[in-house]
Amino acid sequence: MIEIKDLHARVEGTEILKGLNLSIQPGEVHAIMGPNGAGKSTLSAVLTGREGYEVTSGSVTFEGEDLLEMDVEERARAGLLLGFQYPVEIPGVKNVYLLKAALNAKRKEQGLDEIEAPAFMKLIREKLKFMKMDNSFMHRAVNEGFSGGEKKRNEILQMLILEPKLALLDEIDSGLDIDAMKTVADGVNSLRTAERSILMITHYQRLLDYIVPDVIHVLVDGRIVKTGDKSLAFELEKKGYDWLLEGAA
């Protein structure tokens, strides 16, 4: 699905990613953990092509294509979607408009006609229900006045409708109460298929009880310093990152 090789990236002249390697196969769920400021969100920004993040060396191949050559929206249409750590509010733009525009942009890329209104409404109602969101969310402005948990649910709702090939989820669990955590996890789990991959960034082992990853990576100071199976999360929970920091230095 995605192959990241020796990736170096800078933000405002400071090197943040310092030779990162990561490979995810179709159908796999990977988790990235690591201390604050390690470069986890930077990685998601670099992968999605955000302005201001300069790749100085290394390569990223997404489904055989050179991802770094693609524009932001091309990456999204190719199936790389990011669930934001801090979803932004867009006043006056209804959730349903954004979703429809996004879905149609993707369909256009695939040579399909725009989705018919009734089919779209049916789809969105179904997914709202799955995410335990009221229908009124359709007509509210994107994320405007949403609670922290509602914003996160809205991110997953978009994933359910846009069906990415690779979903990047940046701290999708932060700010969620127990029930919301379960709903979000159900949403993510429903995305799991043999073809689709998921890369989630989290600080807490708890999320991994709900969404059990195949592989866990530890990102410290711009590099993956350790990779293991789900038991690694328990070890981190107990020991923290210090023992790995020493190894990385």
Ligand X SMILES: Nc1ncnc2c1ncn2[C@@H]1O[C@H](COP(=O)(O)OP(=O)(O)OP(=O)(O)O)[C@@H](O)[C@H]1O
Cβ atoms of residues 6 and 57 within 8 Å:
yes
**By CB under 6 A, which span of 11-19, 117-125, 146-154, 227-235 interacts with ligand X?**
11-19
**By CB under 8 A, which span of 8-16, 18-26, 28-36, 88-96 interacts with another protein?**
88-96
CB of 138 to another protein, least distance (A): 15
Beta bridge partners of 219: 224
Alpha helices in 49-133 (DSSP H): 72-77, 95-109, 117-130
- Nearest residue to 183 via CA among 147, 156, 143: 156
CB of 140 to another protein, least distance (A): 12
Beta bridge partners of 82: 168
In eight-state DSSP terms, residue 177 is -
- Angstrom distance (rounded) from CA 67 to CA 1: 11
Does position 44 bind Mg ion by CB under 5 A?
no
Does position 41 bind Mg ion by CB under 5 A?
yes
Does position 48 bind another protein by CB under 8 A?
yes
CB of 83 to another protein, least distance (A): 10
Dihedrals φ, ψ of 5, to 5°? -125, 120
Per-residue x/- track, 17-56, ligand X (CB under 6 A) = -----------------x-xxxxxxx---------x----
CB of 236 to ligand X, least distance (A): 13
Instruction: Go through 72-84 and write b for each residue having 16 or more CB atoms within 10 A of its CB, e for each that does not.
Output: eeebbbbbbbbbb
- State how far the alpha carbon of 230 is from the alpha carbons of 43, 70, 74, 92, 235, in Å: 21, 33, 33, 42, 9
- Angstrom distance (rounded) from CA 130 to CA 245: 41
Q: 6 contacts which partner out of ligand X, Mg ion, another protein, none, CB within 5 to 8 A by kind?
A: none
CB of 17 to Mg ion, least distance (A): 13
Applying CB under 8 A, which of residues 12, 36, 51, 242 lies at the interface with another protein?
Answer: 51
Does position 240 bind ligand X by CB under 6 A?
no
- Interacting residue ranges for another protein, rule: CB under 8 A: 48, 50-51, 72-73, 76-77, 81-82, 84, 87-88, 90-93, 97-98, 100-102, 104-106, 109, 114, 141-142, 158, 162
- Interacting residue ranges for Mg ion, rule: CB under 5 A: 40-41
